[in-house]
């Protein structure tokens, strides 16, 4: 008698299919999501609490914000803080100044960071390793040690009290060069060698071959540069004195007087300042994570 086996597992006495020998049984999760979410969700709420409080308090009046114990929820929607900010004639100028400085810093870091990072990743020249080490060494120098020399340089260039004083020191950062260098090292050389054989020059290889493959790293550099420049307060506080050249963080400090503080306006202004940063980060979140995981920060 011949038995025909169709590859299926034999059914047990209860009618259920018995698992194949040597095959692990499939575990069914009791939760529709990962168990890690039980830990990460409370942590996410904890980190988001200051932003939520900022948003809620922006719809409170000054009396509610100054009340003790503080109110956790506004008794009504009060738009006085937003009216105070938007009726300030200088606020659109502050917003435009921050946008100009941040946009120029992002574009320049992408351009110069790409050229510098590619040079350190693919080109070997005299002193390249020493220059890379010196550049990375500048990343550990605190701003307090460099602000006076930077101020003197900007003063000699005649850029104090202008947007140039905020743009020039941010044209390129060592972190941008280093991050792009690390990403370029992870790219296969065969693509560049094939383009080199076809007659492409160095710059054409960078802009036609390397840059289209480096979108995650470029997005990360753009987001981090935008965040740093947009939220910077220390350097504009030193280099800018004219109110017409204020950036948003510096302009918001004018709402805090010596004897009276417009807390509702401060909260509303901070919400309007944080909103572009939050949108930029959420838009580039996936590419940001891909860039960090792909670079690995290996030497």
Summarised one tens digit per residue, pLDDT across range 54-88 is 888 888 887 777 777 777 777 778 888 888 888 87
**Low-confidence stretches of the chain (pLDDT beneath 70):** 1-31, 33, 257-260, 284-285, 287-299
Q: Is the dihedral of CA 25, 30, 31, 32 positive or negative?
A: positive
Question: In angstroms, rounded to a whole number, what is the distance separating the alpha carbons of residues 185 and 189?
Answer: 9
Closest CA to 236 of 98, 106, 93: 98
Contacts of 139 (CB under 8 A, 6+ apart): 174, 175, 178
Q: What is the pLDDT of residue 251?
A: 87
Given a contact cutoff of 8 angstroms between Cβ atoms, the answer to whether 267 and 58 are in contact is yes
Predicted model pTM: 0.76
Question: CA–CA separation, 173 vs 53, rounded Å?
Answer: 33
How far, in Å, CA of 222 to CA of 280, rounded? 9
Q: How far apart are CA 283 and CA 260, in angstroms?
A: 38
Supply the pLDDT for residue 290.
63
């Amino acid at each position: 008698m011949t038995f025909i086996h169709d590859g299926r597992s034999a059914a047990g006495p209860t009618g259920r299919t018995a698992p194949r020998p040597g095959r692990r049984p499939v575990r069914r999760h009791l939760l529709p999501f990962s168990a890690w979410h039980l830990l990460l969700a409370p942590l996410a709420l904890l980190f988001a609490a200051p932003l939520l409080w900022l948003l809620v308090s922006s719809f409170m009046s000054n009396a509610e914000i100054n009340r003790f114990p503080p109110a956790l929820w506004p008794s009504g929607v009060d738009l006085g803080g937003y009216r105070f900010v938007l009726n300030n004639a200088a606020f659109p100028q502050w917003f435009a100044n921050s946008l100009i400085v941040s946009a120029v810093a992002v574009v320049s870091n992408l351009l110069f960071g790409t050229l510098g990072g590619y040079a350190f990743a693919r080109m070997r020249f005299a002193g390249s390793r020493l220059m890379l080490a010196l550049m990375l060494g500048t990343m550990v120098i605190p701003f307090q040690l460099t602000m006076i020399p930077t101020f003197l340089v900007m003063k000699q260039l005649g850029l104090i009290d202008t947007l140039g004083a905020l743009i020039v020191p941010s044209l390129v950062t060592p972190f941008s060069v280093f991050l792009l260098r690390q990403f370029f090292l992870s790219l296969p050389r065969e693509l560049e060698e094939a383009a080199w054989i076809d007659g492409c020059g160095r710059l054409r290889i960078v802009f036609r071959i390397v840059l289209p493959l480096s979108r995650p790293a470029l997005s990360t550099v753009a987001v981090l540069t935008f965040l740093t420049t947009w939220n910077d307060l220390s350097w504009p506080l030193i280099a800018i004195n004219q109110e017409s050249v204020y950036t948003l963080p510096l302009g918001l400090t004018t709402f805090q007087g010596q004897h009276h503080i417009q807390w509702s306006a401060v909260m509303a202004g901070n919400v309007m300042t944080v909103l572009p940063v939050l949108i930029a980060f959420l838009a580039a979140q996936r590419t940001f994570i891909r860039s960090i995981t792909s670079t690995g920060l290996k030497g």
